[in-house]
């Protein structure tokens, strides 16, 4: 989501209006992704000393920092699609084996194992 479009406290019309961070979805991002500064953001919002635009940029930056390693790994795998396909094929093979064994147990337990397929 583009940070500038995120909904905030609707009561905050002007930058200096005191905010209500506990009802603001952006503050929830701070609570989840930027815990070390959450008290400071809460106080700044409540006092009207931080603008929503700046607040959103801080939250967006924290989320981007969190996602950076995942994006890097994704890019690495994107360069090795053949290897990814092999991993998926092998995982599917193993999952089928386990599922087949589980279904045999289920049929046995239900007394509906008519054939050894
Ligand atoms: S300053 Fe931050 S927490 Fe407060 S209303 Fe704006 S976006 Fe929400």
12 pLDDT tier (thresholds 50, 70, 90): very high
pLDDT recorded at residue 15: 92
**CB-ligand 1 contact for 27 (6 Å cutoff):** yes
Question: How far, in Å, from the CA of 114 to the mean position of ligand 1?
Answer: 64
pLDDT at 33: 93
Say yes or no: 74 and 97 in one domain.
no
Co-location of 58 and 97 in the same domain: no
Say how many domains are in the chain.
2
Same domain for 23 and 74? yes
pLDDT interval class at 4 (50, 70, 90): low
Establish whether residue 8 lines the binding site of ligand 1, counting it when its CB lies within 6 angstroms of any ligand atom. Answer: yes
Q: What is the pTM of this model?
A: 0.71
pLDDT at position 20 is 96
Residue ranges of alpha helices (H) inside 4-114 are 25-33, 38-47, 52-78, 81-110
Question: Same domain for 74 and 109?
Answer: no
Q: Mind listing the pLDDT tens digit for each residue in 23-73?
A: 999 999 999 999 899 999 999 999 999 999 999 999 999 999 999 999 999
89 and 72, same structural domain? no
For the record, the structure tokens of 42 come out as 């809460």
What is the distance between the alpha carbons of residues 34 and 8, in angstroms, rounded to a whole number? 17
Where in the sequence is the domain holding 106, given as residue range(s)? 81-117
Q: Residue 37 is part of a domain; what is its CATH number?
A: 1.10.240.10
Report the residue among 1, 17, 27, 58 best suited for mutation to probe ligand 1: largest number of ligand atoms under 8 A from its CB.
27
Q: Clarify whether residues 87 and 108 are in a common domain.
A: yes
Cα 62 from chain centroid (whole Å)? 13
Candidates 4, 20, 33, 55: which one to mutate for ligand 1, based on the most atoms within 8 Å of Cβ? 55
Same structural domain, 13 and 29: yes
Same domain, 73 and 92: no
Q: What is the pLDDT of residue 2?
A: 58
Give the residue from 18, 38, 39 showing the smallest Cα distance to 29.
38
The pLDDT confidence band at residue 117, using thresholds 50, 70 and 90, is low
């Amino acid at each position: 989501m583009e940070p500038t479009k995120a909904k905030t406290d609707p009561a905050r019309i002007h930058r200096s209006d005191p905010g209500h961070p506990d009802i603001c979805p952006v503050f929830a991002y701070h609570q989840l992704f930027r815990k070390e500064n959450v008290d400071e953001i809460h106080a700044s919002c409540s006092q009207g000393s931080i603008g929503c635009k700046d607040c959103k940029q801080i939250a967006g930056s924290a989320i981007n920092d969190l996602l950076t390693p995942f994006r890097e790994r994704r890019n690495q795998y994107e360069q090795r699609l053949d290897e990814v396909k092999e991993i998926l094929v092998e995982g599917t093979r193993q999952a089928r084996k386990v599922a087949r064994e589980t279904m045999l147990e289920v049929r046995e337990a239900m007394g509906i194992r008519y054939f050894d397929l």
